[in-house]
């Protein structure tokens, strides 16, 4: 069986030793070398030409973010699989943006680690459950925002002023009617126009007619 060749990058020697010992138990993988930071990893890449780099994130001299960006740019055939204890949302999205093919927490069992290595080696992505949850939640939030009616984002006061504007009242008249200053009314008007992506009063009236708020 052809083995997947690996480079293990972590600033803690004892962690590297543990990872290497773990991978030695798998008939699918072989560790070609170890590096203590991103700079050392880049120096070894040209010489070793591994299939997959197991990369930590927080390291001295050159961290995992910069190293991953460099590897993905200079060695596009090499896959980067992040193996770290930092799986908070900010780290996840930044490292994926840098080009990592997968993201696994160090607490995983050996079978999941080998599964991740196998997946990225074959050109697929691999995410630990917590990381996948971040992506799913972000997708749902983004989709919900896209499908959300902009009018529903208006405050009660903004809706009130919107209706009066659509009915043809001036800023001063609205201010007097609602017992507000003209400046306050203008502020509400600016915000509601921005939320609804309207450029002028004509757009506002057309929008109000489409919503059935006014009938001419």
Do 68 and 100 meet the contact criterion of CB atoms below 8 Å apart? yes
The CATH number given to 4-141 is 3.40.50.2300
Query: For residue 128, what pLDDT band results from cuts at 50, 70 and 90?
Result: confident
- Retrieve residue 10's tokens: 């972590």
> Rg of the chain over CA atoms, in angstroms?
28
Span(s) in the chain for CATH 1.10.10.10: 150-209
Is CATH 1.10.1840.10 the classification given to domain 150-209? no
Per-residue pLDDT, averaged over 72-86, amounts to 91
pLDDT of residue 130: 66
CA dist 128 and 113 (Å) reads 9
Per-residue pLDDT, averaged over 81-97, amounts to 79
User: pTM, whole model, 2 decimals?
Assistant: 0.63
Sign of dihedral through CA atoms 74, 78, 79, 82?
negative
pLDDT of residue 4: 96
Pairing state between β 79-84 and 29-35: unpaired
CA dist 113 and 4 (Å) reads 13
What is the side-by-side strand order in the sheet with 4-9?
29-35, 4-9, 52-55, 79-84, 102-105, 126-127
Span(s) in the chain for CATH 3.40.50.2300: 4-141
Q: Could you tell me the CA-to-CA distances from 102 to 90, 141, 188, 191, 203 in Å, in that order?
A: 15, 22, 46, 41, 47
The Cβ of residue 140 has, within 10 Å, a number of other Cβ atoms equal to 10
- pLDDT tens figures, 31-50: 999 999 999 999 999 899 99
3-state SS assignment for residue 111? helix
Per-residue pLDDT, averaged over 144-162, amounts to 80
Do 33 and 48 meet the contact criterion of CB atoms below 8 Å apart? yes
Query: For residue 136, what pLDDT band results from cuts at 50, 70 and 90?
Result: low
pLDDT of residue 20: 94
CA dist 157 and 183 (Å) reads 14
Do 171 and 186 meet the contact criterion of CB atoms below 8 Å apart? yes
Identify the CA nearest to 41 among candidates 89, 81, 14. 81
- pLDDT tens figures, 105-122: 887 767 889 999 999 999
């Amino acid at each position: 069986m052809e083995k997947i060749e690996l480079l293990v990058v972590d600033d803690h020697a004892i962690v590297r030793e543990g990872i290497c010992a773990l991978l030695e138990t798998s008939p699918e993988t072989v560790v070609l070398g170890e590096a203590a930071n991103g700079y050392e990893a880049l120096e070894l890449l040209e010489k070793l030409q591994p299939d997959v780099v197991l990369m930590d994130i927080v390291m001295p001299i050159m961290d995992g973010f910069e190293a991953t960006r460099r590897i993905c740019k200079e060695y596009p055939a090499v896959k980067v699989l992040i193996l770290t204890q930092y799986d908070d949302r900010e780290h996840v999205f930044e490292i994926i943006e840098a080009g990592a093919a997968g993201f696994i927490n160090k607490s995983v069992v050996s079978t999941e680690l080998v599964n991740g290595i196998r997946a990225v080696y074959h050109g697929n992505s691999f995410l630990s459950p917590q990381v996948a949850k971040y992506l799913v939640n972000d997708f749902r939030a983004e989709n919900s925002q896209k499908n959300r009616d902009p009018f529903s984002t208006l405050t009660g006061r903004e809706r009130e002023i919107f209706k009066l504007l659509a009915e043809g009242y001036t800023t001063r008249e609205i201010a007097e009617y609602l017992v507000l200053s003209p400046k306050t009314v203008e502020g509400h008007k600016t915000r509601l126009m921005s939320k609804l992506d309207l450029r002028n009063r004509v757009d506002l009236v057309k929008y109000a007619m489409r919503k059935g708020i006014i009938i001419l």
